[in-house]
Structure 1
Amino acid sequence: MLLAHASASKLYKLKYKSKQRGSIGLSIYAFGLTPYSNSKEDEIATQRAKDFLFGWMLKPLVFGDYPYAMKRVLGPRLPVFSEEESEQVKGSSDFVGIIHYTTVYVRNSTSTTPSLIPRRQDFFTDTRDFFRASRGLFMGNSTFFEWDSIPWGLESVLEYVKQSYNNPPIYILENGTPMKHGSTLQDTPRIEYIQAYIGAVLNAIKNGSDTRGYFVWSMIDVYELLSGYMYSYGMYHVNFSDSGLKRSPKLSASWYTGFLNGTMDVSPRDITQMQSHFSGPSSL
């Protein structure tokens, strides 16, 4: 993927960039990562998780090679860049796209149980880390859909990328929170989530992060990769049972519109005021 990205980036810059003045970047799925305890093992595991989650893509893009921790753990299973490939990959992204929803605890996971079963070769075995979130687990095929609001986690991601990878331009391509589809149009928790995370982005920018854009996931309810139509992130409700797919604005749509045009303060009291004057039905 990195070589394909670098090749496409080179072609674009040679043939199209001067006319179109576009930019090419690569995105990563970026959990906030914090140690589960104060133990040295969990601190090392957290850094190892960062190397696998962020460094796998970002270190080649910025420095031309994989993190040392990945080389040590994976050995010959990890591809090796030729000198020419390294130079082609390095600097091939004009920006880094960040997809972020929540923050997880990281705990060092060691298994001492003897087994005759061949060692699994997957992400979690390679990192030897165990990820835990407040409302559920993220390990193997387990998933959870109701993210806790932990805005400082996004701020820490932006700070880490700034310090570790030469402060590249960043666009936050996805950030939002799910609610059970059709539960209500007065999605105050979503407003509080978005408001808090925008504040975290502002803090990171004030601290020097070169973050240039922020996109809420999502404008309308869509089919979600992990939860189908059960949970939705949209600021507009979509009635999937209606042949015309009728769309209705949620409270978050009104709040975000006000935020973008500067007529809405971001203080929590304004959410209550909006809720009392909301013209749509209270539930579906």
Structure 2
Amino acid sequence: MPIDPSVAIGASTGEKTFRWDESDVLLYHLAVGAGSEPGSFVSPDSLRYTLDDDNLQVLPSFAVVAPTFHETDPPPLDLPGCDINLSQVVHGAQTITVHGPVPTSGEATLRTRITDIWDKGKAAVIWQEGTAVSPEGQELWTVRSSIFVRGEGGWGGDRGESTAVEVPDRAADADVSYATTPNQALLYRLCGDRNPLHADPEFAKGAGFPAPILHGLCSYGVVLRLVTDALLDGDTSRVGSFTGRFAGVVFPGETIRVQAWDQGDELVVAASIAGGERDGSPVLADCVVTKA
């Protein structure tokens, strides 16, 4: 069996020590659309993402990619007990929980392990979790993510829990959008994810898509940025965590519409395609931002 849960669940997926600096943060923010709106080059709110001065802040979603930010090879899939290949895999869901504002530069060690494997019949869902710790022993953030492995499953394992988030039955407190650029995926891949699915048309076709698609984590960062600006006064330190399930794809050039509802301690968020033939198609679902 290509996936052996008895070997995989609980297994360590490695330890990685990494560093980041202001240039990495700036590139990431540009890759998720900061500074692209008209007039943003002179806007103090926008410059908090794009200018390396004392006001520079870090969007918490940066922490998800910080450990691999300088990678130039496609992401490896050498998971214990899992014989799978890159063309089978799409990102399933992602959570980032920060234990304080992410520093604009620093060093940390991330230790990860496989926590669960769900059997969805014709696919498997593999969950990993890890915590980044500073050299002084301070926990900086915790990541939890899943990958959806097509063509696997069917061994009679646990189908997993339901994590559906109910969208409030009222008008959204924020309804904003961002038009992705044709080169958005090519820019975002410089943040450490060189998966050819997002750049190579032939690879994308082999994976079942008509053209390269935007990285799910790029959409994830775009959505968090829009919500932070719309309902948290653009202050990234007010984000405690962000969870989202990748419900659909974005092709570079499409517009992402984000609706958010303020529920007190948390924001419920939905993201979809706006306009064109795929108007209304889901992008992110089951999204929640908890407030710090």
TM-score range, shorter chain: under 0.3
What's the TM-score once normalised by structure 1's chain length?
Answer: 0.25
Does 1 or 2 have the higher relative contact order (CA < 8 Å, sep 6+)?
2
Name whichever structure is richer in strand by fraction: 2
What's the TM-score once normalised by structure 2's chain length?
Answer: 0.25
Please say which structure displays the higher CA radius of gyration: 1
Name whichever structure is richer in helix by fraction: 1
